[in-house]
Amino acid sequence: MQRDRNDYSDDDVKRRGILWALWAVLMAPVVLLLMAPGDDPDALVAASGNWAMAWLAVAVVMTPLARLWRGLARWLWLRRAVGLAAFAGSVVHLWLYVLAMRSFAEPGGEWALIAEEAFTPGILTGWLALILLLLPALASNDRAMRWLRQAWKPVQRLAWPGAALALVHMAVVHDGFSLALAVGGMIAGLQMARFFPVRSTRKAI
């Protein structure tokens, strides 16, 4: 039966409240960046991108981490807030990029500058990553889960190529190779946990 818009239990409301609160906490570093922007627009663009990448990395390692620490498994539903914070951080990153380009251009000339470099490896990977992350972000709600049914998981898995492209973007756009390697190594390393059998926390008697 289709649930009505107002037909939510107290648990649903509480769950939503926790998700929004966590999202707000995760967005705080990005908001703080905007409140104290400094005088280097490129540094601001890079910092916002790093925060978005950090939350994206956390979102994609939560499942393998829950195999290492089984107590985390019951908190996996919080991944929605982490993923949405990563996407929102990416949108802020894009907005700051446009503002940075505006600071180097004649009025209205930022779009020509953006178009000029759109197909360079560092920028193209960023655009593609954002497009891939858009779909899982749009589908990160209960209504989309009900509507998409079995297709919901494949849509969420687009976050994987999105994360890979975001890492390449981070590596090549401006001297970010070592940081991208560290984050990528950590993500790849934790994925190995998916192949280990889950151990019981209780010892056999």
Partner 1 sequence: MRMILMAALAAATLAGPALATGKMKCTATAEQRKPIDDLKAELVKQGWTVAKAKVDGGCYEVYGVMPETGRVEAYFDPITFEKLYVEQRGKVLFKKG
- Closer to partner 1 by Cβ: residue 12 or 42: 42
- Residues across the chain: 205
- Closer to partner 1 by Cβ: residue 42 or 142: 42
Q: How far is the CB of 185 from partner 1 (least distance, A)?
A: 3
Q: At 2, is the secondary structure helix, strand, or coil?
A: coil
Q: How far is the CB of 81 from partner 1 (least distance, A)?
A: 24
- Closer to partner 1 by Cβ: residue 81 or 167: 167
Residue 39 buriedness (CB in 10 A; 0-12 / 13-18 / 19+): exposed
Residue 167 buriedness (CB in 10 A; 0-12 / 13-18 / 19+): buried
Q: How far is the CB of 18 from partner 1 (least distance, A)?
A: 28
Q: At 140, is the secondary structure helix, strand, or coil?
A: coil
- Closer to partner 1 by Cβ: residue 162 or 184: 184
**Residues in the site for partner 1, rule: CB under 8 A?**
40-42, 68, 101, 103-105, 113, 116-117, 120-123, 172-175, 177-179, 181-183, 185-186, 189-190, 192-193, 196
> ∠ CA 67-89-173 to the nearest 5 degrees?
95
